[in-house]
Structure 1
Amino acid sequence: MKIKNWLLVGAPLVGGTIIGRLTADNAKADYEKYKQPPFAPPKETFGIVWPLLYTMMGIARIIIEESKEKDEAVISYRTQLGLNGLGSLLYFK
């Protein structure tokens, strides 16, 4: 795998980790504060699932690099990723 691809996969993972660390205390408190439905996952699940999701977002970026509509796709990708992080920061901070 090329170094560029490692960076494309790693960037959302690092960004998500930073945002996760910044919001972790408030997110845990919120999760415990609200009554959860019986099908709600345990809070420990999020530490496993979110890194996997951010890794898959990075893999999606590699796929975008090979796309014919790369410019439009990159704009959509960055917008989605930015809003994802911003939403967490606004909600939990």
Structure 2
Amino acid sequence: MGLRKALSISLLIPLAVGGLAAWLTMDSMAQFAALAQPPLSPPGWVFPVVWTVLYLLMGWASFLVWKSDAPQVEKKRALTLYGVQLAVNFAWPLLFFRAGLYGGALVWLVILLVLVVETVLAFRRIDRRAVWLLAPYILWLLFAAYLNAGVWMLNQ
């Protein structure tokens, strides 16, 4: 597969996952907007912008790992972790927005954070640039955990 095609696929996979999750939770946004929000909650338009950037960075990081000269077994482990965290990422908005399970979504988010850290550690052994591409994702997930916890506590 050519590098351009591989890069395109690497970028489209996380965008598709995020887009599908957004589409499946679209009808829950009005209900979410009516909830009490913790301090520092950004306006609603920020979330799709930030997530689009994060998904592109994830895709780019996965491409760097895929195209590296690292041993196949290391690449497979790293990209499997990446796929698992992406699947867990997909489920979080369904738990939070669609099902309104704020406490359960927070636990799920902690699991996601652990998986992303494991992914970063696996990516680091292959291409250190991928670590920097995933760093904003970890920071955003920490902020999301704060927001999730705040919504949960303020709306019980």
Return the offset for 1:46: 0.9
Return the offset for 1:33: 2.7
Structure with the larger RCO, 1 or 2 (CA within 8 Å, 6+ apart): 1
Return the offset for 1:25: 2.2
Gaps of at least 5 residues in structure 2 are 99-156
Provide, for residues 34-85 of structure 1, a one-character-per-residue CA deviation record: whole Å limited to 9, x for no partner: 2223311111111211111111111111122126220110111001000000
RMSD: 1.7
- Aligned partner of 2:59 in structure 1 is 58
- Aligned partner of 1:12 in structure 2 is 14
- Aligned partner of 1:38 in structure 2 is 39
Correspondence for 1:72 among 71, 77, 94: 77
2:23 is aligned with 1:21: yes
Identity of aligned residues (%): 32
Cα distance in 2, alignment partners of residues 38 and 87 from structure 1: 21
Question: Of the two, which has the highest radius of gyration?
Answer: 2
Cα distance in 2, alignment partners of residues 67 and 73 from structure 1: 13
The number of residues matched between the two structures is 92
Question: Which amino acid letter does the alignment assign opposite residue 65 of structure 2?
Answer: I
2:93 is aligned with 1:92: no
Gaps of at least 5 residues in structure 1 are none
CA contact (8 A) 2:15 2:52 kept: yes
Cα distance in 1, alignment partners of residues 91 and 40 from structure 2: 27
CA contact (8 A) 1:28 1:43 kept: no
Q: Please, which moves more after superposition, 59-68 or 14-23?
A: 59-68
Cα distance in 2, alignment partners of residues 27 and 60 from structure 1: 30
- In the superposition, the TM-score normalised over structure 1's length comes to 0.84
